[in-house]
């Protein structure tokens, strides 16, 4: 869902109730934001995110957009991997 630009269900239903994964996902998105600033990315209009976000990027910057997006995904994954999740909280929330 997040790759297609629909992140709210994952954010509010999965990561926010668990706490730590929400913070690590936010830090990962910060890495994507840093990469977007480094690449001087811009959009020609407001619109969708994810892979479909390439459609509204300034022409010629789609590859940099994909790199920034993947940086956000990988950064959030690595941070969550190393900081872990509270298994007891998962069982209490979803079990």
Q: How many domains does the chain have?
A: 1
What pTM was estimated for this model as a whole? 0.83
Residue 51 lies in a domain: yes
Cα distance between residue 89 and residue 94, in whole Å: 8
Residues pairing with 43 in the sheet: 57
Whether 35 contacts 71, CB under 8 Å: yes
pLDDT digits (tens, 9 = 90+) for 15-73: 888 888 899 999 999 999 999 999 999 999 998 888 899 999 999 999 999 999 999 99
Residue 94 lies in a domain: no
Residue 36 lies in a domain: yes
Nearest to 70 by CA among 39, 40, 29: 29
- The pLDDT confidence band at residue 84, using thresholds 50, 70 and 90, is confident
Residue 4 lies in a domain: no
Residue 46 lies in a domain: yes
Residue 6 lies in a domain: no
* Structural domain boundaries, residue 55: 23-87
């Amino acid at each position: 869902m997040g790759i297609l630009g629909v992140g709210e269900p994952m954010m509010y239903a999965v990561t926010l109730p668990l706490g730590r994964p929400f913070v690590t996902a936010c830090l990962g998105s910060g890495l994507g934001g840093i990469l977007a600033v480094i690449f001087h990315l811009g959009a020609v209009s407001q619109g969708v995110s994810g892979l479909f976000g390439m459609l509204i990027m300034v022409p010629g910057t789609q590859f940099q957009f994909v790199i920034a997006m993947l940086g956000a995904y990988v950064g959030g994954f690595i941070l969550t991997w190393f900081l872990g999740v509270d298994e007891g909280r998962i069982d209490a929330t979803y079990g």
